Amino acid sequence: MSSDSRAEAAPRRRPGRPRKDQPDPERFAEILAGAAEVFLARGYDASTIQQVADTVGMLKGSLYHYVRTKEDLLYVILQRTYAAALSEMRRVLEERAGADALELLAAFVETHIRFTIANFAAVSIQFRELRTLSEARRAEITAEGDKYTALLRDLLQRGVEEGTIGADIDLPLASWSILGQLNAMTQWYRNPGRLSIDELVAAFVGMIVSSVVSDRRSAEAGGPASLRASFTPGR
Amino acid sequence: MSSDSRAEAAPRRRPGRPRKDQPDPERFAEILAGAAEVFLARGYDASTIQQVADTVGMLKGSLYHYVRTKEDLLYVILQRTYAAALSEMRRVLEERAGADALELLAAFVETHIRFTIANFAAVSIQFRELRTLSEARRAEITAEGDKYTALLRDLLQRGVEEGTIGADIDLPLASWSILGQLNAMTQWYRNPGRLSIDELVAAFVGMIVSSVVSDRRSAEAGGPASLRASFTPGR
């Protein structure tokens, strides 16, 4: 039993795994942010550990105190980004537990957009570079992404049950479609842009809410355009 | 004057440019389709001309009768895909010149989805690999993409003017958002899928149309859910 435990614990410090004995968590966070910027600007395949070290102003040798490989950097960036996004979204939805599903959907969209802007490089590379991870790591990250999508699908389902979202809506397709249009931001959004972040949030929330609303809930608001105008961001 | 003309014509046959003296247009189309599949499966950076030659069952040396470099393959794939998409979309919209903008929007969405499914590898790599093109070629392809987006933005504008699309809609954002959710299909769609292509088209058309509809046009249909149900694909 004890020898089994040791055998399981050993690989944690082996090459190819992120090292758990990190000298400085803040410095590590800076390294990950710098690596995300390098991967976004140059593409993961064309990036080197040396470029990451140069970007964060440290020696390549010192960087190896934190990770063993370039793939470790990508893996930890994606792992942390998904964990932070999930945790933030769960907090926002729990805070609004009394709201109807359309209001929860508005909060979901707003939270997703603000998180994307605040973590732009990390969120952007997730779509472009996920496939370069090893199969086991990609499966782990994909499972986290599925949990996030499930939060959205579950709130849409609740809306269908309470009658605020149309019974005609295909929930898996609506979930992917909503996330697809939000995530496409990583291809065109520049900060600062033509619209303020609040304007961007309001426009996205309006279009997404009216894309799935039920006839009854829309009529209560005065129609889809009036419904779109009723959601004010920045709460 | 005649020497200038010759100077301009000469680079057409130089290395680095697709050769215009293509031995067999059908064979070239097969090569491009094979290359798109290889680039999609392996990623452009990790792909080789040899793999493309193996996929289409020809010698690497014979493939050089058609293109000089791997980048030529990517360039011609993207160039032809955009040209075909633009031409098809213009034809569809012109055929429906008497329809209101919401019906044109439905036709745009349906045409885009069917084109994406019919040209899945080429459409998928366009988003992932565009940045690997040389700057001049990327600018040329991006300009074609802008023309396509303009077709969508112009029909939305027409809808605002005729009152079928909400005056509250931000037209550039709506255009990117609609294309974003459709293009995200390249990340999750598998053929055959859970939904038939007609069901997929109907669900997308419904959500997109109700995301931008005006109060008046929605009320005429009986509300957004009734509006969504009123569009039947496969015309």
In angstroms, the CA A87 to CA B130 distance is 33
Nearest chain A CA: its distance from B61 CA (Å): 27
Nearest chain B CA: its distance from A83 CA (Å): 21
- pLDDT greater than 90 at residue B45: no
Across the interface, do A229 and B168 touch by the CB < 8 Å criterion?
Answer: yes
Residue-level pLDDT at B69:
94
Residue-level pLDDT at B130:
86
Nearest chain B CA: its distance from A186 CA (Å): 10
Nearest chain A CA: its distance from B123 CA (Å): 15
- pLDDT greater than 90 at residue A189: yes
- Kindly state the tokens that stand for A220: 């209560």
Give the mean model confidence (pLDDT) for residues A182-206: 94
In chain A, residues with a C-beta closer than 8 Å to the C-beta of B206 are 168
Mutant choice from A177, A199, A205, A212 vs B, greatest count of B C-beta within 10 A: A177
In chain A, residues with a C-beta closer than 8 Å to the C-beta of B228 are 166, 168
Across the interface, do A181 and B177 touch by the CB < 8 Å criterion?
Answer: yes
- pLDDT greater than 80 at residue B202: yes
Of the CA atoms within 13 Å of residue B24, those in its CB half-sphere come to 7
Across the interface, do B184 and A181 touch by the CB < 8 Å criterion?
Answer: yes
In chain B, residues with a C-beta closer than 8 Å to the C-beta of A226 are 215
Report how many domains make up chain B. Answer: 1
**Dihedral, CA atoms, A99, A104, A105, A107, nearest 10 degrees?**
130
- pLDDT greater than 50 at residue B5: no
pLDDT band at B6 (very low <50, low <70, confident <90, very high): very low
Across the interface, do B168 and A225 touch by the CB < 8 Å criterion?
Answer: yes
Residue pair B207/A212 in contact (Cβ under 8 Å)? The answer is yes
The reply to whether A5 falls in a domain is no
Q: Which domain holds residue B134?
A: 11-229
Size of interface A-B (CB pairs under 8 A): 135
Neighbouring residues of B221: CB distance < 8 A, sequence distance ≥ 6: B213, B227, B230
The reply to whether B4 falls in a domain is no
Predicted confidence (pLDDT) per residue in B77-128, tens digit: 999 999 999 999 999 999 998 999 999 999 999 999 999 999 999 999 988 8
Give the mean model confidence (pLDDT) for residues B19-45: 86
Nearest CB to A211 within list B173, B180, B207: B207
In angstroms, the CA B15 to CA B20 distance is 11
- pLDDT greater than 80 at residue A107: yes
Rounded alpha-carbon distances, angstroms, from residue A97 to A91, A105, A109, A110, A220: 10, 12, 16, 16, 21
Across the interface, do A204 and B180 touch by the CB < 8 Å criterion?
Answer: no
Residue pair B210/A208 in contact (Cβ under 8 Å)? The answer is no
- pLDDT greater than 80 at residue A1: no
Nearest chain B CA: its distance from A144 CA (Å): 16
Tokens 């991870």 -> residue: A133
The reply to whether B5 falls in a domain is no
pLDDT band at B233 (very low <50, low <70, confident <90, very high): low
Predicted confidence (pLDDT) per residue in A39-76, tens digit: 999 889 889 999 999 999 999 999 999 999 999 999 99
Nearest chain A CA: its distance from B9 CA (Å): 34
In angstroms, the CA B228 to CA B210 distance is 7
H-helix segments, chain B: 2-9, 25-42, 49-56, 60-63, 70-95, 101-118, 120-129, 135-162, 171-183, 185-188, 197-212, 215-221, 224-229
Question: At B185, which amino acid appears?
Answer: M
The fraction of chain A above a pLDDT of 90, given in percent, is 80
Q: How far is CA A200 from the centre of its chain?
A: 18
The reply to whether B235 falls in a domain is no
The reply to whether B210 falls in a domain is yes
In chain B, residues with a C-beta closer than 8 Å to the C-beta of A203 are 169-170, 173-174
In chain A, residues with a C-beta closer than 8 Å to the C-beta of B210 are 210-213, 224
pLDDT band at B3 (very low <50, low <70, confident <90, very high): very low
Question: At A224, which amino acid appears?
Answer: P
Across the interface, do B177 and A204 touch by the CB < 8 Å criterion?
Answer: yes
Across the interface, do A187 and B180 touch by the CB < 8 Å criterion?
Answer: yes
Across the interface, do A211 and B211 touch by the CB < 8 Å criterion?
Answer: yes
In chain B, residues with a C-beta closer than 8 Å to the C-beta of A215 are 222-226
In angstroms, the CA B187 to CA A169 distance is 21
Neighbouring residues of B159: CB distance < 8 A, sequence distance ≥ 6: B100, B101, B102, B104, B105, B165, B212, B214
DSSP B135-157: HHHHHHHHHHHHHHHHHHHHHHH
The reply to whether A153 falls in a domain is yes
Across the interface, do B213 and A224 touch by the CB < 8 Å criterion?
Answer: yes
The reply to whether B1 falls in a domain is no
The reply to whether A41 falls in a domain is yes
- pLDDT greater than 50 at residue B235: no
- What is the CATH number for B49? 1.10.357.10
In chain B, residues with a C-beta closer than 8 Å to the C-beta of A165 are none
Predicted confidence (pLDDT) per residue in B151-177, tens digit: 999 999 999 999 999 999 999 999 999
Give the mean model confidence (pLDDT) for residues B9-34: 69
